[in-house]
Amino acid sequence: MKKFIKKGIFSTILLLTAFAMGACGKDGQEQPDPYGLAQLSEPIPENSQSETSSAELSNVESSQAEVSKRQAPETENKASGTAAEKNGTQAGTGERLIKEQTFHVTLQPLGDVVFASYQPDTSQNPFADVVFSIEKDGAVPQKLPGVSEDNSRSNETFLGVEAVSFLDYNNDGFDDIITICSYYPGTVMQAGTGISEIRYYTGSKNGAFTYEKQMSENANSALAEISIESAKGFIGAGKGISLEPWQQAYIDYLAHDSDVESQQGYALIYINEDEIPELVEIGYDEASGVRIIGFSNGTVHVTQLNRLYFSYIENENLLCNSEGNMDYYYDLVYRMENGKLTLIASGYYGAEDNSNVQFDEEGNPIYYYEWEGVKMSAEDYAKALNSVYDMSRATDGYSFDECYSADEIMVILETS
């Protein structure tokens, strides 16, 4: 039976068709000026996206492909130029537009936007990092997350933006972004010390972008040569491998039916005996609870559980939602048939009046026990539960340490 790897040895591979887009804005068109656009001596040159954008980015990517992870910073400058060189401004005087890495693009679901790259403000912090911004129709720009919360490096100085690529690398219908930036250690540039760094940004249905820290770190550690093409290759973008119906169904659920931003994480388990796993969707709090998503006959089946805890007996079609609060508890036993969970038995126990809990001589709360509507002792309740669900053979539904983000679970689904 096919099993899924644990999070600790998770391999970031995506199986999707990618495309690169990039273009520049209209000469003289008034644009929002949150980062000093009006101070530039030249506007963004006008180009046709359909005729120019792919070639334009292709040239950038081609030049970047020649830059090794450990190549001299002088060579990296030739590939992209520093922000100061591009803007004709002094470094450290504030954020400035990097014109060669600023594009008019169409991104789903945002539509037509300006992707802008800005030189960092090093006047207060020499290790301040580059700023990427999505700007649309005069609205407040959306800054893409940096590699750290304060958008600064630990001991590296920003050198330049080498390349930018726009693509839907996880095939969820929303465009993603790959960037490559170069840095040198400390504050003094030395030959042979420059490095290039990949960042993956995953887009979402509300137009926000998430920096994929682990995926980016994995790529930067694994790749000897950093380029847009190697970044795509590392995550498998463009391979075009077809997915099984259950894989596509789960991915479609994540993309369109799950509010991924309100979920704490995802996991895959095997409740029934087939080789198709069940998807576990873990809410952020007890009120949100957990959902179990199964698959059969070409469709997904969603069961909402109470609160956050459940267990299951692997490959035997049984799941038990055991939870409670405020001296009221329950064990709800489900059987899985054809990808659907059906309640087959239930038990409840707790205080008769949880506002006035009574205690025995040893200080334990006095609870009533009821199985399938019949009151009984605690011992008989345990026997009744174990007669339909052997608690000694049960496995916890998930571990918070082994939960995945929506993007990570898509990677696993696409490569399993």
Q: What is the DSSP string of 198-223?
A: EEEEEE-TTS-EEE-HHHHHHHHHH-
Query: Rounded distance, CA 325 to CA 330, Å?
Result: 9
Token pair belonging to 129: 């990092």
Domain ranges of the chain: 17-234, 245-414
Close Cβ partners of 150 (under 8 Å, ≥ 6 residues apart):
none
Give the residue ranges of the chain where pLDDT is below 50.
1-94
Query: d(Cα 63, Cα 70) in Å, to the nearest integer?
Result: 16
The pLDDT value recorded for residue 241 is 55
pTM to 2 decimal places = 0.49
What pLDDT, on a 0 to 100 scale, did the predictor assign at position 144?
A: 96
Report pLDDT for 242: 67
Residue corresponding to tokens 């009120």: 287
CB distance 76 to 162 below 8 Å = yes
Residue-level pLDDT at 132: 96
User: What's the pLDDT score for residue 37?
Assistant: 35
Structure-block tokens of residue 115: 């992707």
Q: How many CA atoms lie within 13 A of 210 on its CB side?
A: 17
pLDDT score of 133 = 95
Reading the block at residue 148, the tokens are 């750290």
285 burial (CB, 10 Å; 0-12 / 13-18 / 19+) is: exposed
Confidence (pLDDT) at 392: 96
Write down the pLDDT at residue 161.
96
Q: Look up residue 181 and give its DSSP letter.
A: E
SS3 state at 177: strand
Pick the closest to residue 236 from 9, 13, 34, 6 (CA basis). 13
Q: Roughly how many angstroms between the first and final C-alpha of the chain, as a whole number?
A: 12
